[in-house]
Amino acid sequence: MIQNIQYNGYTWYNIVDLTKDDLDFLYKKYKFHSLDLEDCMSKVQRPKIEEYDDYKFYVLHFPTIPRKGLRLRMEEVDIFWGRDYIVTIHNNHISKLTDFYNMIESNEEIRKKYFSKGPDYLLYRIIRELVNEIFPLMTRFSHEIDWIDSSFETMKPSKVIERISALRRNLIFIQTSLKPQKSIFSYFENALKDQEEKEMDIYWGDIGDYIGKILDMAEDYQELLEGLYSSIDTLLTFRMNNIMKTLTIFSVIMLPLTFITSMYGMNIQLPFMQSPHAFGVISGVMGSITLLMIIFFKFGRF
């Protein structure tokens, strides 16, 4: 579905869930390169830049997390940037971009503010909205780490490891997707000399600073997770050692008792076998051995 806003001689086309008809429209109107249009139909694994004489093509990735789920998902935004137009292509999972489009469409004052400086500034505002949407995710990760840190001693180890693994995966995804994009915005800042707005390098530097901050937060959170994982591993090792210690003590205590009962279960003559007090005497001996060994294991140094 193609939506468009026109103002002051500039146009923003916002395409949600691209179709073949939409591609035909873009090709007929702007003669975009066929390889760029193919990239829009397929998922590009890495952010990238393509420059032509009359337009530029960008593939950017932004993280989203489903409401029910822990695994972060990277959503692609394809952007065509010309002298008097912007084309954004994305799926309906990036609701922030759709909301931003609807806000500009319904508010003339905001539309005038964002379109008056040309497509350069409009593109900056679009990307800034998408980048700002990452910060709530980072806050969510921070709260998740704090929650694990405060309650991992009472949680099931499998649940803790599942949460930590999901967080580590999400943080790695963020770093691998945003690091190339930081280079892209550095390129925006330093290399694009034909922008209408002469001070746009400041704005692109602002986006680069935001991404750098997110990457720093991701690295810090990853270090915290490594520390948590190390603490949990130590705790689980300690619990396992205690379990093995308890089982070992139980086995050592049972060893002489098993020996005594097996001996008196044999069909041979042994002391006290004919005595009417045999059961009491043997039980007393076994109880004494058990008590002595418990005292030894409780107060002995080992």
What is the C-alpha separation between 210 and 134, in angstroms, rounded? 10
**In sequence order, what are the residues at sequence separation of 6 or more whose Cβ sits closer than 8 angstroms to the Cβ of residue 109?**
none
Owner of token pair 């026109």: 6
Answer for the pair 1, 98: CB distance below 8 angstroms, yes or no. no
Q: What is the pLDDT of residue 13?
A: 93
Task: Please enumerate, as own/partner, the contacts of 254-258 that have beta carbons within 8 Å and a separation of 24 or more.
Answer: 256/286, 256/289, 256/293, 257/286, 257/289, 257/290
Task: Write down all domains in the chain, each with its CATH number in brackets.
Answer: 2-237 (3.30.460.20), 241-299 (1.20.58)
Q: What is the pLDDT of residue 275?
A: 67
Q: What is the DSSP string of the chain?
A: -EEEEEETTEEEEEEES--HHHHHHHHHHH---HHHHHHHHS--SS-EEEE-SSEEEEEEEEEE--SS-S--EEEEEEEEEESSEEEEEE-TT-HHHHHHHHHHHH-HHHHHHHHTT-HHHHHHHHHHHHHHTHHHHHHHHHHHHHHHHHHTTTS-HHHHHHHHHHHHHHHHHHHHHHHHHHHHHHHHHHH----SSTTHHHHHHHHHHHHHHHHHHHHHHHHHHHHHHHHHHHHHHHHHHHHHHHHHHHHHHHHHHHHHHHHHTSSS--TTSSSTTHHHHHHHHHHHHHHHHHHHHHHS--
Q: What is the pLDDT of residue 256?
A: 80
Dihedrals phi, psi of 6, to nearest 5 degrees: -120, 135
What is the C-alpha separation between 113 and 3, in angstroms, rounded? 20
Nearest residue to 83 (alpha-carbon basis) of 30, 136, 36? 30
What is the C-alpha separation between 120 and 200, in angstroms, rounded? 7
Q: What is the pLDDT of residue 301?
A: 58
One digit per residue, the tens of pLDDT, for the chain of length 302 reads: 788 899 888 999 999 988 899 999 999 999 999 899 988 888 777 888 888 888 999 899 888 876 666 678 888 899 999 889 999 999 887 888 888 999 998 988 988 888 888 888 899 899 999 999 899 889 888 888 888 888 777 777 778 788 888 888 888 888 888 888 888 777 776 765 455 445 677 788 888 888 889 999 999 988 888 888 777 777 777 777 778 878 888 888 788 878 777 777 776 676 666 667 767 777 787 788 888 877 777 776 55
In sequence order, what are the beta bridge partners of 185? none
Q: What is the pLDDT of residue 43?
A: 78
Answer for the pair 78, 6: CB distance below 8 angstroms, yes or no. no
What global pTM score does this model have?
Answer: 0.74
Q: What is the pLDDT of residue 11?
A: 92
Sign of CA dihedral 154, 159, 164, 167: negative
